[in-house]
Amino acid sequence: MTSRSTLPRVAALVGPYGSGKTTLLESLLLTTGTIHRKGGVADGSSVGDASPEARHRGMSTEVTVAAASYLDDQWTFLDCPGSIEFQQDTYNALMVADTAVVVVEPEPARAVMLAPILKFLDQHAIPHVLFINKVESAQARLRETLEALQAVSDRPLLLRELPIRNGEAISGFVDLVSERAWQYREGKRSELIKLPEATLSEEQTARQEMLEHLADLDDHLLEELLSDVAPPTTEVYDNLSRDLERDLIVPVFFGSATLDHGINRLLKCLRHDVPSPLVSAARHGFAEEGGPAGRVFKTVHAAHTGKLSYARIWRGEVGEGGTINGIRPSGLFTAVGASLQKVSKAGPGEVVAFGRLDTVNTGDVLGTVETGIIPWPTPLPPLFSLSVHAEKKQDEVKLTGALAKLTEEDPSLSVEQSQDVGELVLWGQGEIHLQVALEKLRNRFNLAVAGHRPQVPYKETIRKTVSEHGRHKRQSGGHGQFGDIYVDIAPQPRGSGFQFADTIVGGVVPKQYIPSVAEGVEDYLKRGPLGFPVVDIKVTLTSGSYHTVDSSDMAFKTAARIAMTEGMPKCDPVLLEPILAVEIAVPAEFTSKAQRIISGRRGQILGYEAKDGWKGWDVVSAFLPQAEMSDLIVELRSLTMGVGTFSWRFDHLQEMTGRGADKVVEERRAALAAQ
Ligand SMILES: Nc1nc2c(ncn2[C@@H]2O[C@H](COP(=O)(O)OP(=O)(O)OP(=O)(O)O)[C@@H](O)[C@H]2O)c(=O)[nH]1
Ligand SMILES: [Mg+2]
C-alpha cells in the first residue's frame, strides 16, 4: 500500500459528546509516537482539553490542534467538541479538514445524535469515516449499531473490518479488503494472525456486502461481481479512496481509544484513503495556481501569546518575516495541544498558528480573495441568553473589551445592549456555553461577572379613550411659567406604535409650542402606569391656552406630562407581552414531545411538517411568549437526546391579563421602587 499524498493532511475528530474523541486523539498521538505516555481526560492530563474550562468540566469546550507524523506523512488532528453547544468551533474546524473521523458509541439508541454533524458533512461534501469506539464495553452487537447508524446517514455505511470474537468480547478484527486478521494485545500493537476458520463464512458475506456497495458506484466492479471474478485488491482500494474523496461512502471502523485497539488500522486507512489537501483546496474553490493562500479556522486571545490565528495553508508557502494580508505576524507556530513550537515557514496542507494578525478573523482568507471560494458558514443563531454585569463597577469597560474578544473567538456567542430594559445580554448556544464564557472571563481576563435571567421586554398599552386637561402654572419672582393643554388619549391597533396629532385652531396653543407638547408626551410614554414603555397609542392635542410672557417650551412640556400622568391610569392600561414565532426541529420520534413543550409553555401550535432535506425530522411551528423562551433549549435538548433545536423571531405583542400579568406588574413595581 503506498501513500497517495505526501502533503500534510488534516483529520477532524467529531461526533456526539463523550464518545471518546479526546481519548482517541491521545491514542493517535501515542500510536504515532508524538507522545510517549498517554494522559487521560478524567485526571486532566490529556493533550486535548488543555484549557481550564475544559479541564474543569471534563469535556471539550473548544477545538484542540495537534500535529503528528505517521510513517513519514504529516497529519494535523483537530479534536472537536461534541457538545452541541460548542458546535461552532467544530464546524469551523471541519471547514479546513480533508476528512472527519466521526467517533460514535456502540449504542444504537444514540445513533440519532449524529444527525446534525452528518448533515453538515454531507452539505459540504467532506469525506468522513465512522469509528465505533468503546467496543470493549459494548452492550449491543455491532450489526445493530450499524443499522441504527445507517438510518441516520444519507450515505451508505461500509463496514471495512469484521470483528473476531472470543465469546462475547471482540478480540480482534479482519480487514475486509486485504482479508488479513489481527488479534488485539494489551498495551501492544495488534498481532497478525491466521484468519480464524470460524470467522471465514461471516467474513465472506461481509466482504461481499462491502464490494456490492462499491459496485453500486462503479460499473467495472459491478461487472466483475456479476461474472464472479474476484476484483484485484488494488481495484478495491482505488474504489474506496475515490468514493471517499467524493463523499459517496462512509467506511466504518471500530476499536477502543482507551485500550488503543484498532487505532493503527484506522491510521493506515486514513493514510491510504484520505484525499490530498489539493483536492480539499479545489473543493473550497482555491485555484491551483497563484500566490500563497490559506484560511483561518480558529482565533484565540491567549494570555501570554496574545492573539493567535490558526490557519490551514492551501497553496504556496508563508514564512517568518513575510507579510500576510498586509500584516507581519509576530511568529508562526505548530501546535500539539497547548504546546506551541515556533517554525520558520509553512507550506500547502499545513496547519499553523500566526501570532498577532490583529485585523484577521476566523473564516478570513489569507492571501488574495478569489471568486469561487466557498463562503464560511454563518454563525449559529442565538438560543439562550443571560444578562451579565461585572461584579465590580470599575470593571465594566474591561468587560466590554473582554466580551469583544470572546465573541471574536466564537461567533456563536454574541452581545446585545438591550435598549428596552438597559441590560447587557450575552447570547449563546445554551447554559453550559454561557457558563464557560463566564469562566473564560474569570480565568483569562480576571473578571468576575454575574449572569442572571434577562428581563422580558414587556410593553403596555390602553383600551379606552380619555380626554384630559394638563395645566402648569407657577409664579416665582420675575418670569412665571405657564402651559395649558387638553389632549385626547386613544388606543390604536397593535403594531402602530405612537402617533401624535393636533387639532388646534386659532393659535390657542401657538405653533412653536406644539412640538414641546409632543415631547412631553413621548417622555411620559417611556414608562406607563404599569411601569413599562407604552405603545399603540394616539395622543391628539385639542385645545389649550397660553400666556404671552410666561409660556415656554418647558412649561408646555410639563403640562403635557401632567395631562398624561393624570389621564393614562383612566385609560384602562393593559400589559403587552412579546410573542415569538418559533420553529422547533426534532427527529420525528420526538415531535409529540416538542408539541407538549409548546403547550406547557402557554404556546400556540400552528402546525408541523417534515423538515426540508432532513430525512425523518419534523418542524413544529408555534407562537410562544418570550417569557417562556429562556430555558426552552434546555428542556428541548433534555427531551431529544440533545439534537432538538429551534429558530425564533419576534412576531407580535399580545395583551396579557390575569394573575400572570398581575405578577409581572408587581415585580416591575418592586424593581422600580428599589432603584
Ligand atoms: N470504555 C471506554 N471508555 C472510553 C473510551 N474512550 C473514551 N472513553 C471514556 O469516555 C469518556 C469521554 O471521553 P472523551 O475522550 O472525553 O470523549 P469526547 O468525545 O472527547 O467528549 P467531548 O469532547 O466532551 O464531546 C471518558 O470517561 C473516557 O475515559 C473507550 O474506548 N472505552
Ligand atoms: Mg473531547
Q: Which residues contact 470 (CB under 8 A, 6 or more apart)?
A: 483, 484, 485, 486, 487, 559, 560, 561, 562, 563, 564, 566
Per-residue model confidence (pLDDT) at position 296? 98
CB 469 within 8 A of CB 485: yes
Residue located nearest, by CA, to atom 28 of ligand 1: 20
pLDDT (tens digit, 9 = 90+) per residue, 464-503? 999 999 999 988 767 789 999 999 999 999 999 999 999 9
Per-residue model confidence (pLDDT) at position 4? 45
> Identical fold at 9-281 and 284-366?
no
Q: What is the largest CA-CA distance in the chain?
A: 115
d(CA 506, CA 247): 80
Cell of 22: 479526546
pLDDT (tens digit, 9 = 90+) per residue, 531-588? 999 999 999 999 999 999 899 999 999 999 999 999 999 999 999 999 999 999 999 9
Per-residue model confidence (pLDDT) at position 2? 41
Q: How far is the CA of 588 from the centre of ligand 1 (A)?
A: 29
Q: How far is the CA of 117 from the centre of ligand 2 (A)?
A: 15
Return the best residue to mutate from 13, 41, 89, 253 for the ligand 1 pocket (most ligand atoms within 8 A of CB): 41
Ligand lying closest to the C-alpha of residue 16: 1
Could you tell me the pTM of the whole model?
Answer: 0.92
> What's the start-to-end Cα distance of the chain, in Å?
75
Residue located nearest, by CA, to atom 2 of ligand 1: 134
Cell of 279: 483536492
> CB within 6 Å of ligand 1 — which residues?
17-23, 41-42, 59-60, 81-83, 103, 133-134, 136-137, 256-258
Residue located nearest, by CA, to atom 13 of ligand 1: 20
Q: How many residues does the chain have?
A: 675
Query: Which DSSP symbol is given to 196?
Result: P
Ramachandran area for residue 616 (φ above 0: left; ψ -120 to 50: alpha; else beta): left
Per-residue model confidence (pLDDT) at position 219? 97
Per-residue model confidence (pLDDT) at position 333? 96
Residue located nearest, by CA, to atom 6 of ligand 1: 20
Q: How far is the CA of 14 from the centre of ligand 2 (A)?
A: 9
Ligand lying closest to the C-alpha of residue 57: 1
Return the best residue to mutate from 22, 103, 254, 266 for the ligand 1 pocket (most ligand atoms within 8 A of CB): 22
d(CA 203, CA 208): 8
Cell of 305: 501569546
> In the block, which residue shows the cell 410593553?
459
Query: Considering the domain 284-366 in this protein, what is its CATH number?
Result: 2.40.30.10
Question: 3-class SS at 503?
Answer: coil
Per-residue model confidence (pLDDT) at position 303? 75
Ranges in the chain, pLDDT < 70:
1-5, 477
Fold designation for 577-670: Alpha-Beta Plaits (3.30.70)
Superfamily covering domain 384-452: Elongation Factor G (Translational Gtpase), domain 3 (3.30.70.870)
Ligand lying closest to the C-alpha of residue 44: 1
d(CA 443, CA 250): 41
Per-residue model confidence (pLDDT) at position 477? 67
Pick the CATH number of 9-281 from 3.40.50.300, 3.60.40.10, 1.10.3720.10, 3.10.450.50: 3.40.50.300
> Per CATH, is 460-571 categorized as 3.40.190.10?
no
* Per-domain boundaries in the chain: 9-281, 284-366, 384-452, 460-571, 577-670
